[in-house]
Amino acid sequence: MIKNTPPMGWNSWNTFGSDISEDLIKEVADKLVDSGLRDLGYEYVVIDDCWSMRERDGNGKLVADSEKFPHGMKALADYIHSKGLKFGMYSCAGTLTCAGYPGSYEHEFTDANTFAEWGVDFLKYDYCFKSTIIPGPVLYRRMGLALKNCGRDILLSACSWGADNTHEWIRQTGANMWRSTGDIFDSWESVRSLTEQQENKLAYGGQGCFNDMDMLVVGMYGNGNVGMENHMNDTQYRTHFSIWALMGSPLMIGCDIRNMSESAMKILSNKEVIAINQDPDCRQVMHLDTWIGNDARCYARYLANGDIALAFFNLGESGTFVRFLIDALGISLSSGKTLEMHDVWTGEVFTVKNGTFLHQLDAYDTLMYRCRVVDR
Ligand code: GLA
């Protein structure tokens, strides 16, 4: 059975690109366990592009690069499973992957069986070098159906970047998550742009198929494959993580967890933020209008136990002041109710007075609460 909350784990692409190996993947698996990240929910270890030989074998099967993965993928899957983790791999709906390795086009059932034989639990499925004749929905249906018939539960992570109106058809295909945005980079502009691209897609996320805002860049500090010179700082990483969590995106770590800063670990391991992301109801996210300044945003989400997740994200370069009426969340002044606010980043607890929430919000910063409905 595939769990019906946003998948969590680690993916090789953001930091390592093509520079991947069996040793690296094993070290990452070890670290997920030793650091406690596995027990917080980060369970998938995903090898992205560049893992295979340039050619299929004589039977048309994909073959792992024998230098990078000398013991083959089955052995690596066994190792990952022995650590209580799940194993993810990558292929593409086109003739080639985005980095030019063999794609699964016209080999969908063969490849799904190969992945099942190797013990794969998760398949990220890209959209480069795709057929110009066969439309995207059919390409994803092919792999979706092949995975459903391969004899193993394999989560399908569709990666067509929102192209060709992916949101209109991706749920048909059997995908469990779908990339709703373009590729992420370790810069504030990138996080801001992905957040804005997500705003009109919020209705499409949820149980069965989650909106995937791309792998996290928390803790990269400019290093690695999608690192940038103008990389983010810890405040910005915290906002990035909070947005992904509140919006119900999968949480796939992208930094080198073997050498992680304490502050990155603190961000990625915030249990209350993870609990909001993993809330079993996976309700639609609300975008709320309020007095907050043009560059800041207010989002909320009802949670399974009757609480509400509420967050204010400042995407701008200067501080602002938030004034928010909790009436928008369903608590009218005549109800006799108010909200007890639990700040998930500072631990502070307070009660909203007169139906109005007032707070300073610094540049790039986040205010995020788990709110409990209480008597006034
Ligand atoms: C695309 C995807 C990325 C990554 C690369 C690999 O760009 O969107 O997430 O998988 O391909 O080549």
pLDDT of residue 12: 98
Average pLDDT value for residue range 284-304: 94
pTM tops 0.75: yes
Q: Is 69 left (phi over 0), alpha (psi -120 to 50) or beta?
A: beta
Question: pLDDT band at residue 126, thresholds of 50, 70 and 90?
Answer: very high
Query: Is residue 120 helix, strand or coil?
Result: coil
Residues 141 and 109: their CA atoms lie apart, in Å, by 11
Phi, psi of 178, rounded to the nearest 5 degrees? -145, 135
pLDDT of residue 298: 97
Answer yes or no: is the C-beta of 13 below 6 A from any ligand 1 atom. Answer: yes
pLDDT tens-digit profile of 239-249? 999 999 999 99
pLDDT of residue 73: 98
Average pLDDT value for residue range 329-336: 96
With a pLDDT cut of 90, the percent of the chain lying above it is 98
pLDDT tens-digit profile of 217-233? 999 999 999 999 999 99
Residues 87 and 29: their CA atoms lie apart, in Å, by 10
Write the DSSP symbol of residue 24: H
pLDDT of residue 335: 97
Query: For residue 293, is pLDDT > 90?
Result: no
pLDDT tens-digit profile of 2-35? 999 999 999 999 999 999 999 999 999 999 999 9
Distances in whole angstroms, Cα of residue 331 to Cα of each of 230, 284, 288: 42, 18, 14
Query: For residue 146, is pLDDT > 90?
Result: yes
pLDDT of residue 302: 98
Q: What is the mean pLDDT of the chain?
A: 97
Answer yes or no: is the C-beta of 48 below 6 A from any ligand 1 atom. Answer: yes
Nearest ligand 1 atom to alpha carbon 124: 10
pLDDT tens-digit profile of 47-58? 999 999 999 999
pLDDT of residue 294: 85
Nearest CA to ligand 1 atom 6: 49
Query: For residue 74, is pLDDT > 90?
Result: yes
Residue in 2, 5, 6, 25 with CA at minimum distance from that of residue 15:
25
Answer yes or no: is the C-beta of 98 below 6 A from any ligand 1 atom. Answer: yes
Answer yes or no: is the C-beta of 49 below 6 A from any ligand 1 atom. Answer: yes
- Among all residues, which ones are annotated catalytic? 126, 183
Query: For residue 291, is pLDDT > 90?
Result: no
Centroid of ligand 1 to alpha carbon of 370 (angstroms): 34
pLDDT of residue 24: 98
pLDDT tens-digit profile of 153-188? 999 999 999 999 999 999 999 999 999 999 999 999
Residues 164 and 148: their CA atoms lie apart, in Å, by 24
Nearest ligand 1 atom to alpha carbon 99: 12
Residues 202 and 207: their CA atoms lie apart, in Å, by 12
pLDDT tens-digit profile of 93-124? 999 999 999 999 999 999 999 999 999 999 99
pLDDT of residue 172: 97
Nearest CA to ligand 1 atom 9: 183
Residue in 298, 317, 306 with CA at minimum distance from that of residue 362:
317
pLDDT of residue 296: 95
Average pLDDT value for residue range 335-362: 97
Nearest ligand 1 atom to alpha carbon 182: 8
Question: pLDDT band at residue 137, thresholds of 50, 70 and 90?
Answer: very high
